[in-house]
Amino acid sequence: MVTTLADSPRASRTPDALSVGVIVWLASELMFFAGLFAGWFTLRAENDPWPPHGAELETVTTAIASVILVSSSLVIHQAVVAARKGDRTRAVRWLFLTMLMGAIFLGNLAFEYIEAPFSISSNAYGSIFFLMTGFHGLHVIGGILLMAAIAAVISGRSRTPVERSVHVCAYYWHFVDAVWVAMFVTIYLIQ
């Protein structure tokens, strides 16, 4: 009997190139956000008082939006489970629910920007607040667009492997959620 590379035990342990690429890319994104956090803590150490007087945030509504965003990690996991079973319809439904939850989070962020008693040019606090939350918001938008693209592809006639596409998207979404937890604690709780 001839054993092919695909049949060998080593082939089953070989990591998927796309997954490895996404993980490496997310590591670079982690460094980007680490730079923003470093900026936050540096400005916090150099400015007294921090936050400046009058720079009050909507902590309660943002906490609710944060719970919705973090809960969306559980929802996208259900999309992964459905995709693993080859159920494209359920995977798409879970992706759309995840996108909706991300959109609710973004709606809260937009509301907070409108209601904020400071702007990006008011002071160092305003600058770093809008930079950190703005870049995170852009990552949420990117995740929603990625999910929409994957949902469009897997709901059509494409024979694209469902599990791989949804799983890689979930890596990204979990990363976005984890970064937000760190941001929420830093900006809204620790201050």
Beta carbons of 170 and 80 less than 8 angstroms apart: yes
Q: CA separation (Å) from 49 to 45, 54, 117, 186?
A: 10, 11, 16, 16
Round to whole Å and give the CA distance between 96 and 151.
Answer: 8
Per 3-state DSSP, the chain is made up of helix, strand and coil in percentages (nearest 5) of: 80, 0, 20
Q: Confidence class of residue 10 from pLDDT cuts 50, 70 and 90?
A: low
The pLDDT of residue 3 is above 80: no
| Cβ contacts of 106 within 8 Å, gap of 6 or more | 137, 140, 141, 144
Round to whole Å and give the CA distance between 108 and 17.
Answer: 36
Residue 161, preceding bond cis, omega within 30 degrees?
Answer: no
Classified as helix, coil or strand, 14 is coil
Q: What is the pLDDT of residues 122-135, one digit of tens each?
A: 999 999 999 999 99
Round to whole Å and give the CA distance between 145 and 177.
Answer: 16
Q: What is the pLDDT of residues 83-94, one digit of tens each?
A: 999 999 999 999
Locus of tokens 């509504």: 61
Residue 117, preceding bond cis, omega within 30 degrees?
Answer: no
Superfamily of domain 15-43+59-190: Cytochrome c oxidase, subunit III, four-helix bundle (1.20.120.80)
Q: Which of 45, 103, 47, 48 is nearest to 72 (CA)?
A: 103
Domain boundaries, the chain: 15-43+59-190
Least confident of 127-136, 140-149, 156-165, 173-182: 156-165
Mean pLDDT of 70-87: 96
